[in-house]
Amino acid sequence: MPHLVILYTPNLDAETDMTRLCRALADTMLAVRDDAGAQVFPTGGVRVLAYPAAHSAVADGGAAVADGGAAGVAAGGTGEYAFVYLNLRMGRGRSAVVKQRAGDALTATAKAHLAPLFAKLHMGLTLQIDEGAEVFDAKHSSLHPLFNKA
Amino acid sequence: MPHLVILYTPNLDAETDMTRLCRALADTMLAVRDDAGAQVFPTGGVRVLAYPAAHSAVADGGAAVADGGAAGVAAGGTGEYAFVYLNLRMGRGRSAVVKQRAGDALTATAKAHLAPLFAKLHMGLTLQIDEGAEVFDAKHSSLHPLFNKA
Amino acid sequence: MPHLVILYTPNLDAETDMTRLCRALADTMLAVRDDAGAQVFPTGGVRVLAYPAAHSAVADGGAAVADGGAAGVAAGGTGEYAFVYLNLRMGRGRSAVVKQRAGDALTATAKAHLAPLFAKLHMGLTLQIDEGAEVFDAKHSSLHPLFNKA
């Protein structure tokens, strides 16, 4: 961990470079520091995975994917709706300050990347952080050793 | 929130209109009322996102996607297996009555839409509601203002 | 339940048969026994769903999907990064022994299937088990009856 999953309406792929957003969010995670200045998330454990939905419905939108609804058209826009949901799952035991710092930084990165879309579409963004409550955890990695050298 | 994610075996896309199911479920969410008659889920926060798996295995089914197993064939059917999992994540603090009402309504909508498939395939449907236990939450939206006008 | 979801970087699809991994993991779930020798997970409730990300970023990797980073190249490998995340959600109330047994068995199956890739790529694997904390649960199935005959 940390593990960031992005679920979004598929119309965004035509509007922005989601791979670049993934990289920007991973960089943001790598830059988070605790109060002692130490990197919070180990490099080899950082991953961001983004998934456009195959089918979706948002607010009062029409049946077709990415179709907008009456309220959007009445507002004088394209009527197109979009949604991005970002969920970061991290290990238990980090301080409240670190959680807030990570959340604020990721939100800022996502909002900056998506700013042109907020101006163009009727779009919602939600970012949530969960602390994993797993009852079993196993890891195996040939990534961590790349970053844990003496 | 609320945030409804549907994970399903990819054979369903050839059998039914999953986009229409998304819209029907979103409409169902919009129609849920509390005991005071107020809309429970704000329109601008409602989204349904559906994801067919790229690879899957169900029960004793074969290795190929959507392939059925011995039990299904022995039962005299096509032997084809399918699964639909619906997960609604909602904010904390709603009453037990509202949770039950939302769950019952969404289950009824899903079962009605998928009824012809239950008659044709060996299929499982599970719908669960989680209350988000997030430790950080941020929202940004140009959707909510469409529905929150004075 | 149980419900196993696999989220992974899309470069793995060119390297291994993910459908076969799904089936192997389902078989592993079907083989888990409790201390009394009874099958833990009912056959008709077992499903494995695997999702390659459309976009991703791992560790210090480049912006392109499955692109590796400086550390991987410096290590003399292909520099290609990969990640597999497996999440099993099971019902509440099972014993600690059963959770450990299921987790160990699934991890062993995943590691065995992916062993050639660990030797070739810089890859991380994480497997976690969550106990569902759902506040509403509904099931409807024409699968269970196939396996619950007298």
Beta-carbon contacts below 8 Å between A and C: 131
Reported as a single tens digit per residue, the pLDDT across A48-84 is 999 999 999 999 886 554 566 788 778 776 678 999 9
Reported as a single tens digit per residue, the pLDDT across B44-85 is 999 999 999 999 999 988 655 456 678 877 877 667 899 999
Query: Residue B138 and residue A94: Cα distance in Å, rounded?
Result: 19
* pLDDT higher than threshold 50 for residue A106: yes
| Sign for the pseudo-dihedral over CA of A49, A51, A57, A62 | positive
Nearest residue of A to residue B31 by CA position? A60
Q: CA distances (Å), A5 to each of A25, A48, A89, in order? A: 11, 6, 8
- B3-54+86-147 is classed in which CATH architecture? 2-Layer Sandwich (3.30)
Q: Nearest C-alpha of chain A: how many angstroms from C146?
A: 30
Q: Which of A12, A49, A84, A113 is the mutation pick for testing C, counting most C CBs within 10 A?
A: A49
Q: Which of B49, B89, B113, B137 is the mutation pick for testing A, counting most A CBs within 10 A?
A: B49
Q: Looking at domain A3-134+141-147, what is its CATH homologous superfamily?
A: Macrophage Migration Inhibitory Factor (3.30.429.10)
Query: What ipTM was estimated for this complex?
Result: 0.94
Query: Residue A34 and residue A38: Cα distance in Å, rounded?
Result: 5
- The pLDDT, as a whole number, for residue C150 is 46
Largest Cα span, chain B = 61
Rounded (10°) CA dihedral B105, B106, B108, B111: 180
Q: CA distances (Å), A118 to each of A93, A125, B119, in order? A: 35, 9, 44
The answer to whether the CB of A48 falls within 8 A of the CB of C66 is no
Q: Nearest C-alpha of chain C: how many angstroms from A86?
A: 13
* pLDDT higher than threshold 70 for residue A14: yes
Query: Residue A18 and residue A24: Cα distance in Å, rounded?
Result: 10
Tell me the pTM.
0.95
* pLDDT higher than threshold 60 for residue A42: yes
Out of A103-112, B29-38, C32-41, C54-63, least confident range? C54-63
A142 with C129: Cβ contact below 8 A: no
Whose CA is closest to A55, among A11, A4, A118, A114? A11
The 3-state DSSP class for residue B51 equals strand
Nearest residue of C to residue A144 by CA position? C124
Domain map of chain B by residue range? Answer: 3-54+86-147
Q: Which residue has the tokens 């035509």?
A: A14
E strands in chain C: 3-8, 47-52, 55-58, 81-90, 122-131, 136-141
Mean pLDDT by 10 residues, chain C (150 residues): 93 96 96 95 95 95 64 76 96 94 98 94 95 95 80
Pick the CATH number of C3-133 from 3.40.309.10, 3.40.50.720, 3.30.420.40, 3.30.429.10: 3.30.429.10
Beta-carbon contacts below 8 Å between A and B: 131
Residues of chain B with Cβ-Cβ distance to C137 below 8 Å are 103, 126-129
- Distance from the first to the final alpha carbon of chain C: 22
The answer to whether the CB of A102 falls within 8 A of the CB of A31 is no
> What's the number of CA atoms in the CB half-sphere (13 Å) around residue B123?
21
